[in-house]
Structure 1
Amino acid sequence: MHLRSLLVLSLLSIPQIAISQQVTHNVKGTVTDKQSKEQLIGAIITIPELKKNAVAKLDGTFAFERIPAGTYHVRCTYVGYQAIDTVITVNKNIDLTLPLNNQSSALGEVVVKGKQDAESESTAKRSEQNAASVMNIISARAIQLSPDLTVANVLQRISGVSIERSSSGEGRYAIIRGMDQRYNNTLVNGIKIPSPDNKSRFVPLDIFPSELVERIEVNKTLTPNMEADAIGGTVNMVMKNAPDKLYVNASAATGFSQTVLQDGFNAFPVGAIQKSSPYQAKGPDYSATPDDFTRDNLNYTHKKAPANAMGTLSIGDRFFKDRLGIMLGGSYQNLYRSYKSIFNPGEFQEGGLLYVKHANQRTYSSHLIRTGLNAKIDFNINPKHKLALYSAYADFQDAQARLTTDTLMPAPRTGYGTGQVWNFGRSKYQRQNIFSNTLQGNHSILDDRLKVDWSAVYSKATNNIPDWAEYEYDGGFYADGTSPEPYKHTDVATNFHRMWWKNSDRDFAGYLNLTYSNKAWDVPFDLSAGGMYRDKHRDNKYDNYELRPVPGPGGAPQPWNGIYNFNWTVFNPKGSPGEANNYRSNERITAGYLMLKFVVNKLETTAGVRAENTDQDYDTDLPVTQEGKTGTISYMDVLPSVNFKYILNKHTNLRLSYYAAISRPAFFEIVPYNYDGDQFTEKGNPHLLHTTSDNIDLRYELFPKSNEQILVGIFYKALKNPIEYGFEFTGQQNQKVYMPGNYGNANNFGFEFVYEKYIGNFGIRANYTYTNSKITTTKLTSELVNGGSPNKIYLNESRPLQGQSAHIANAALLYKNAKIGLDFQLAWQYTGKRIVLVSPYYGFDNWQKGMNLFDLSAEKRFAKHFAVFAKIQNLLDAKYEVYIDKAPAKNDTPIPFQDMSASRTLVQRDQYGQNYLLGLRFILNK
């Protein structure tokens, strides 16, 4: 019986042993676009018989493990692509490639790219690889998943690009390869736009919400068909185009700023601001009275933690058998920012000593409203003739309150808690906007051998700062001649100003390009010729009133008892109409180019020459007898360029480029204005020369996969007459003015490295740029001789160009799991130390300390069309710090905020805190 039972059990176990020992295999593979070969991240792969599914990872790969031997169906689907079914026989480990056809790759004879393709990382990489010039691109998808809210902040993720921040801590201007913002230009859909800035040409990039762009292109070399005023490079914002099918992308978000949560927010009633000055409202014969100036905009209300709010909407589709495409987009941001600032300007003292006279503590509160609208309409008349109309509007409002306490460091101060104290309040409301319309045509004739494209452009940028208001009262706790002991001095009102700034730039521009394609001796070539004409007009209006407190009996100062409780008189009741700050300026630029592009074996060459003629004139409101009332400037530049691209294989390029470029002075800089700025007297320079530059680039490019890259490059720039702001002595004692000038020639060279790699669901994106520029100027110092008499000494000092950091680095750790719909990014950005203010004294330049920024973003998709997202900016609360590489002179009393044992002096420290955002997104892409 025992033997019989054992036999039965043995027979029953045979199938189980067979099953447990059944051979299994692994099935893995990659999903790609059949035409472009790019990996399709997030594609869904299923084996119906086994009820198994997988999702393509960041590198486009998928895997099924422990698949029993047999024959199975494999089905692959991806939004916007035709699904495929294939049959596989599993008898060993299998490695598949599943190529999918884009549903929108061809519609009759009209080729239309799908929206998803146009916004993908892979498309951005492919555009970089195929470009004729050295270019870096960041895609819409990368922008959407980044922690950034504006185009300016997005740009800091690109190799060789750092940003200059506004007074509210927001990124504002791009510095490309160490070249200050004046050396770069800004385009929308390849068309240059005017600047609303009242003093410069460069465009404040924080005016543009990042959600409206399809991609951002940074060109670091120029071809002859590109405008030449871009020594550093160009920033081209390509706005969203019409999709091939219905597309909707909408989001709403809210959040807080950490500093606002902690300290609250100081607000003033923007509606109380007088939009026009008395002169502007009532004419030149009117004499202003105290009643013409409101006090309400200097009445601050402290609020507790107002919330930020954001919303975006993009919607597009095609109609009339896909001949008409429409894309509409809008973005709105309502943000509250506050921060505290320490400001201790270091001053030169005879003997070359650094003297700290003022210790300012400032509290800033900024209410930012950013609105963006864009519309793109394209119409395909037939396959050979197409028209497009693009309109964009960007509006930025900043209502900023600044409260300052300034303690005087020298006597009568005797230590902490004593000294003369000056108290300031300032209300500044600024509104900037840009409106641009472009009508474009693309035509193909002569059997497609001749292509013609043209653009007609109207753009206008405006800037308005109405009723920039301030007040000041002085007091403090100190001893004086009336008392040997410190006592609280009565706060007394002092003189202050009310200012109105308003300027506008209007552009009319036309572009025409012709390209003839053929072959010569079996060498294919494109011969291009074209031109551009721009007529620009600027109006600048400025009005400044000085208000003075009414003195008491015997001329005694008027006590300060609040903004509503003292009386003032208007020192200059007619305002300030007869100044050079009021001017009209015109600029006419005529350009033409000839360019040849041809390919011999693996070498692609793009070469040619561009000529640009610049005519400028201005007319100010200065008296007719005063020098500099009017002025004219004219110059012609002939600018050759050549770009070589050697295609080593389908994944690798080697590039060598040379181009000549220029940088024009801003309108304001060549007008002989003179006014008292926030820190020092500023003055224009009618003798300012424009900058020219010769530029060389060499870059190796490797694109191992469609969304991966390795870039290594070097660059060199030789600049003639670079423009920088510095100080000039007036000849009256040590008085000086801050003004633009040509301080000598300069060189700039550097090295770039970019690395992007994905393994499974993880990825790393990193870049590093080293830049070294040099300019040598003469600086003043002195030594004390003969018992303390100063002996002036002039020394040559070499330094980097203003705004140039030797080291810039970015890194991002990425995680993407398409199966559960999760994206995560931790981003780091480092900007090395750089000069922010050039001093006229030897060793006194102001340096920004190196800055590390960490940002975090995440997105979780659910219910097919929805996603929740979160962004945290400045995760570790990095501080903006400025210092002078010189220890402060010893003082009888301690100096606040200074380490007296250190070898440098702190000039400024701003602490912006973290910003938190949580939102919901809806995406429909049929």
Structure 2
Amino acid sequence: MRKIVLLIAVFNFCFLALNAQSVIIVKGSLSDAISHETLLGATVGIAGGKSMQTGLDGTFTFKLAQKGSYTFHCTYIGYRVLDTTIHISESTHISLKMNGSAAELNTVSITSRRSNETEASAKLDEKNAPQVMNIISAKAIQLSPDIIIANVLQRVSGVSVERSSNGDGRYAIIRGMDQRYNYTLINGIKIPSPDNKNRYVPLDLFPADLVERVEVTKALTPDMEGDAVGGVINMVMKNAPDQLYINASVSTGYSQNLFDRPFKSFPVSAIHMQSPYQANGPSYLAVPADFTRDNLNYTNKSFTPNTMANVSVGNRFFDKKLGVMIGASYQNTYKSYSSIFNPGDQYFDETGAEGTLRIKHAELRDYSTHTTRLGLNGKIDYRINKANRIEADGFYAVLDEAQTRLTTDTLQPAPRVGVGTGQVWWYARSRYQHQTIASATLKGDHAILPGLKFNWTGVYSKANSNVPDLAEYEIDGGYYADGTNPQPYQHPLKTTDYHRIWQSNSDRDVSGYGNLAYNNEIARIPFTLSFGGMYRDKHRNNLYEDYELRTVPNGDGSFQTWTDIYHFNWSVFNPAGSPVNANNYRSGETISAQYGMLKFRVSNLETVVGARVENTDQTYDTDLPVTSAAKSGKISYSDMLPSIHFKYMLNDKTNLRLSYFASVNRPSYFEIVPTLVKGDDYDESGNPNLKHATADNIDLRYELFPNSNEQVLLGAFYKRIQNPIEYGFVGDKFDQYQPNNYGDATNYGFEAVFEKYISRFGVRLNYTYTNSSITTTKIHTVNAVREAINETRPLQGQSAHIANAALLYKDNVHGLDLQLAWQYTGERIALVSPYYNFDVWQKGLSLFDFSGEKRFAKKYAVFIKVQNLLNAADKFYIKKPLSNPYPVPYETAGAAETLTQRSLYGQTYQIGFRYIF
């Protein structure tokens, strides 16, 4: 029996071996005949047989039953059909080349233009760029888990984000340089910021659906504005296509936390958009009836689905001369989360020892945030003739955010001796913010003479922010010890004094740009000589009105007890408001710049060299009394900013780059105004003696682009910043947070990027190491004696380690795309303390997201996005142990560090439908 089984096994093995020998495997690749870019998703078939689409690496595989001559039939949008016959005698690899489609009618050449929305286009432009940059394509954004530009940017090597109070990304930190060291462009033009203090633009305003690509430039050329030490973010909006283009989607979703808790809402319509001073004039004295109570009345909203929609439509008309593209995006989202907030806000002098850390307030905060985001984009261009073209662009973004914050606050020091014996407060805050950015641009491109071109741009843009009637009430309602009773006792809920604040600001830019470029060659060396300049006039208004409402004692002199927002009385302590203060100011700025730049190529070495001169004039005028020394001020300075960029092309797929550029960082408008803004946890003040920072920057990068959507990047960078602007605490009690110049700082590191595809599978990896240092003066206390000593630390916001990884699956035959993405931001300083070794750090944060898309019938798709899959906790801490005599909520006894904040934002789900034509 065993012999029979063995005989059958041997027979089967021989049969399979013979059968395997008879199968011929043909592996192949398909690419562009000129650029050699691999063509992804092209259809390859064998005449009379089956067909397939090329994979993520542009390859295909056929199994043939016998030798012979086979005709391969290849089709791809924008390319001529390829039919080629190849004799196949054994398993082999073949390379097929396709030519772009073009037709010539009389003397007019009509050529299909490659799409700028693809990954292949983004990689090609990265390779050909004269400077160091990274590009994210619209296609990559569409398939990613992200719906706003800020979150898209966290996928770029060397970029992390600072998050808003609802967990979404808001500001980009590039190569460890805080958001102040970067600037933002739309279609290559700088835009103003709605931020009430700073220049940098909150990137959560921008829906991701409207862009054609996002470019992150890390080394400046002379034709770029020079106020970026970290980098430049350019959002390129969709351009007019060569034929009808439609991309539309609608989706819905839900936030995981809202399955478990109600959404706390208040009626935004009840808010008085103008303060009593604004509504009635400077002579008006406010009365209690001028302040609504409805915006502090919270109700539960049980069903809060997220809704999102976007559409982009474009085409060309009149013999392709007129191009039109319009787009709109709308997002309506709800989020809710809880946050533990234990600020290490009490520095305690010890006898015979160093000062220690104590927590005075332990807070539990519940947030509910309703966000509405709207983006509108329009582009029109007209090709007058071969030598002249004009273009008009318009962009408008709106972000409305209504947030409730309900807080329970427990006093931790004595007379508290344990759980239930500390004084307790309850706070409720209603905050509504309306932000807008609008930009209108007119451009012209003209070929004046052979080799001589001129382009110009005129821009009007404006940003606004309005936070009307920021309201918070406070209830003192827990255990308390007064002078007559040293032991804690519980008293009735007590109403307390509070404030109503109106804040608004506007930032208006009028800008003009002009560039002249001459192309020629000398001794067979091609070159481009460019000259240009820009002028910008900026004006900013800032308004701040603060009314203090004080409770009225009962007739018998006792305090009012709390029942609800409608049943207690207050008086207006300052009925005229607070118009005479430095928070009401006007700021102006003019910047003029001129540059010269030479680009030339000798053999495989391309060089860009030049310099830029920028002249800055800043002024401010406040509503302080005329006798105040700091009522107004002015600063002026000029900077020469040289740069040189080398790109050595080892072959058509490999570059070696070396760059140097000088750059600056200007103080923001608020930072030089000697004002004081009250905050939740500390007050902020300006500094009229603040200087602008300057920096020298060096980059070295190796680039390999094996295929059209693959890359390997290895780079290093070094920055030396003179007079960097960092925030620290000042004042007799060190209770004011103020910008200052802190000597010199250095910042260096390296980046690595790897992107590879094998058939249907792909992987994207990037890692950035950054090391920065700055030395500042801190307070050090021993035995209650204070002294100032130096402390060397990283720059605020800089993470030593940033990493991204994504696993991809793409099946073009079945129209399926899947992506699992991971993003890691290492620990970093979130807040600089005035005390030695007491800085607040943000813990390293790992986020996992998922997205998928299934296409069918060529034009339709369904998609899903899931953010924060594992509900990662966002934590902040101080690297010091607590010295409170009694246990503090949420703290671990005996721990070497102190938790100051922990937030759990929960998962967010989205499912939708897309139409593409």
Return the alpha-carbon distance in structure 1 between the equivalents of residues 326 and 656 of structure 2: 39
The offset of 1:759, in angstroms, is 0.8
| Matched residue, 1:407 | 410
| Matched residue, 2:640 | 638
The offset of 1:104, in angstroms, is 6.7
| Matched residue, 2:324 | 326
The alignment partner of 1:461 has SS state of strand
**Counterpart check, 1:819 vs 2:813:** yes
- Report if the CA contact (8 A) 2:157-2:767 is conserved: yes
Residue range with higher mean Cα deviation, 326-335 or 297-306: 297-306
- Report if the CA contact (8 A) 1:265-1:338 is conserved: yes
Return the alpha-carbon distance in structure 2 between the equivalents of residues 389 and 725 of structure 1: 40
Return the alpha-carbon distance in structure 2 between the equivalents of residues 249 and 81 of structure 1: 22
Q: 2:138 aligns with which of 140, 165, 174?
A: 140
| Matched residue, 1:879 | 873
- Report if the CA contact (8 A) 1:458-1:508 is conserved: yes
**Counterpart check, 1:123 vs 2:121:** yes
| Matched residue, 1:905 | 898
Q: 1:524 aligns with which of 523, 526, 540?
A: 526
The 5 Å alignment of 1:155-170 reads 155-170=153-168
| CA deviation map 1:747-777 (0-9, x unaligned) | 1111111111111111110110010000011
Return the alpha-carbon distance in structure 2 between the equivalents of residues 155 and 855 of structure 1: 14
Q: 2:449 aligns with which of 446, 451, 475?
A: 446
| Matched residue, 1:714 | 716
Change (3 A) 1:106 1:159: farther
The size of the alignment, in residue pairs, is: 896
Change (3 A) 1:311 1:521: same
Unmatched segments (≥5 aa) in structure 2: 1-14
| Matched residue, 1:922 | 915
**Counterpart check, 1:563 vs 2:565:** yes
Return the alpha-carbon distance in structure 2 between the equivalents of residues 221 and 774 of structure 1: 21
The alignment partner of 1:553 has SS state of coil
Return the alpha-carbon distance in structure 2 between the equivalents of residues 528 and 490 of structure 1: 75
| CA deviation map 1:788-814 (0-9, x unaligned) | xx2112221100000000000011011
| Matched residue, 2:340 | 342
Return the alpha-carbon distance in structure 2 between the equivalents of residues 20 and 30 of structure 1: 26
- Report if the CA contact (8 A) 1:887-1:900 is conserved: no
The 5 Å alignment of 1:822-861 reads 822-861=816-855
The 5 Å alignment of 1:470-509 reads 470-477=472-479, 487-509=489-511
CA RMSD of aligned residues (A): 1.8
Return the alpha-carbon distance in structure 1 between the equivalents of residues 670 and 829 of structure 2: 23
| Matched residue, 1:6 | none
The offset of 1:100, in angstroms, is 3.0
The offset of 1:629, in angstroms, is 0.8
- Report if the CA contact (8 A) 2:264-2:298 is conserved: yes
| Matched residue, 1:770 | 769
Identity rate, percent: 59
Return the alpha-carbon distance in structure 2 between the equivalents of residues 171 and 433 of structure 1: 18
- Relative to the length of structure 2, the TM-score reads 0.96
The alignment partner of 2:668 has SS state of coil
| Matched residue, 1:26 | 25
The alignment partner of 1:263 has SS state of coil
- Report if the CA contact (8 A) 2:531-2:595 is conserved: yes
The offset of 1:21, in angstroms, is 9.7
- Report if the CA contact (8 A) 2:151-2:161 is conserved: yes
**Residue 395 of structure 2 aligns to which amino acid in structure 1?**
A
The 5 Å alignment of 1:794-805 reads 794-805=788-799
Return the alpha-carbon distance in structure 2 between the equivalents of residues 106 and 704 of structure 1: 33
**Residue 212 of structure 2 aligns to which amino acid in structure 1?**
E
The alignment partner of 2:628 has SS state of coil
| CA deviation map 1:639-678 (0-9, x unaligned) | 1000011111111111111000001111111111113211
Return the alpha-carbon distance in structure 2 between the equivalents of residues 177 and 879 of structure 1: 24
Return the alpha-carbon distance in structure 2 between the equivalents of residues 229 and 185 of structure 1: 7
- Report if the CA contact (8 A) 1:688-1:740 is conserved: yes
| Matched residue, 1:199 | 197
The 5 Å alignment of 1:423-442 reads 423-442=426-445
**Counterpart check, 1:388 vs 2:391:** yes
The alignment partner of 2:795 has SS state of coil
- Report if the CA contact (8 A) 2:415-2:487 is conserved: no
The alignment partner of 1:490 has SS state of coil
The offset of 1:864, in angstroms, is 1.6
- Report if the CA contact (8 A) 1:104-1:244 is conserved: no
The offset of 1:106, in angstroms, is 8.3
Return the alpha-carbon distance in structure 1 between the equivalents of residues 79 and 495 of structure 2: 72
The 5 Å alignment of 1:251-650 reads 251-346=249-344, 347-351=346-350, 352-447=355-450, 449-477=451-479, 487-650=489-652
The offset of 1:29, in angstroms, is 1.5
Return the alpha-carbon distance in structure 1 between the equivalents of residues 482 and 391 of structure 2: 74
The offset of 1:257, in angstroms, is 0.6
- Report if the CA contact (8 A) 2:553-2:559 is conserved: yes
**Residue 781 of structure 2 aligns to which amino acid in structure 1?**
S
- Report if the CA contact (8 A) 1:812-1:827 is conserved: yes
Return the alpha-carbon distance in structure 1 between the equivalents of residues 81 and 913 of structure 2: 30
Change (3 A) 1:20 1:722: closer
The alignment partner of 2:209 has SS state of helix
The alignment partner of 1:579 has SS state of coil
Return the alpha-carbon distance in structure 1 between the equivalents of residues 357 and 425 of structure 2: 22
Return the alpha-carbon distance in structure 1 between the equivalents of residues 34 and 420 of structure 2: 74
Return the alpha-carbon distance in structure 2 between the equivalents of residues 827 and 742 of structure 1: 39
| Matched residue, 1:36 | 35
Return the alpha-carbon distance in structure 2 between the equivalents of residues 620 and 568 of structure 1: 31
**Residue 569 of structure 2 aligns to which amino acid in structure 1?**
N
| Matched residue, 1:743 | 742
Return the alpha-carbon distance in structure 2 between the equivalents of residues 719 and 248 of structure 1: 47
Return the alpha-carbon distance in structure 2 between the equivalents of residues 729 and 618 of structure 1: 23
Return the alpha-carbon distance in structure 2 between the equivalents of residues 129 and 21 of structure 1: 43
Return the alpha-carbon distance in structure 2 between the equivalents of residues 847 and 771 of structure 1: 16
Return the alpha-carbon distance in structure 1 between the equivalents of residues 178 and 104 of structure 2: 44
Return the alpha-carbon distance in structure 1 between the equivalents of residues 211 and 112 of structure 2: 16
- Report if the CA contact (8 A) 1:473-1:493 is conserved: yes
The offset of 1:863, in angstroms, is 1.8
- Report if the CA contact (8 A) 2:399-2:436 is conserved: yes
| CA deviation map 1:131-183 (0-9, x unaligned) | 11100111111100000010000000000000000011110000000000000
The alignment partner of 2:423 has SS state of strand
Change (3 A) 1:472 1:113: farther
- Report if the CA contact (8 A) 1:110-1:383 is conserved: no
Change (3 A) 1:711 1:735: closer
- Relative to the length of structure 1, the TM-score reads 0.95
Return the alpha-carbon distance in structure 2 between the equivalents of residues 88 and 828 of structure 1: 44
The offset of 1:262, in angstroms, is 1.5
| CA deviation map 1:76-122 (0-9, x unaligned) | 2223333222233333334333333344798975777646x211111
**Residue 167 of structure 1 aligns to which amino acid in structure 2?**
S
Change (3 A) 1:37 1:475: same
- Report if the CA contact (8 A) 2:852-2:864 is conserved: yes
Residue range with higher mean Cα deviation, 845-854 or 670-679: 670-679
The offset of 1:479, in angstroms, is 6.0
| Matched residue, 1:761 | 760
- Report if the CA contact (8 A) 1:47-1:73 is conserved: yes
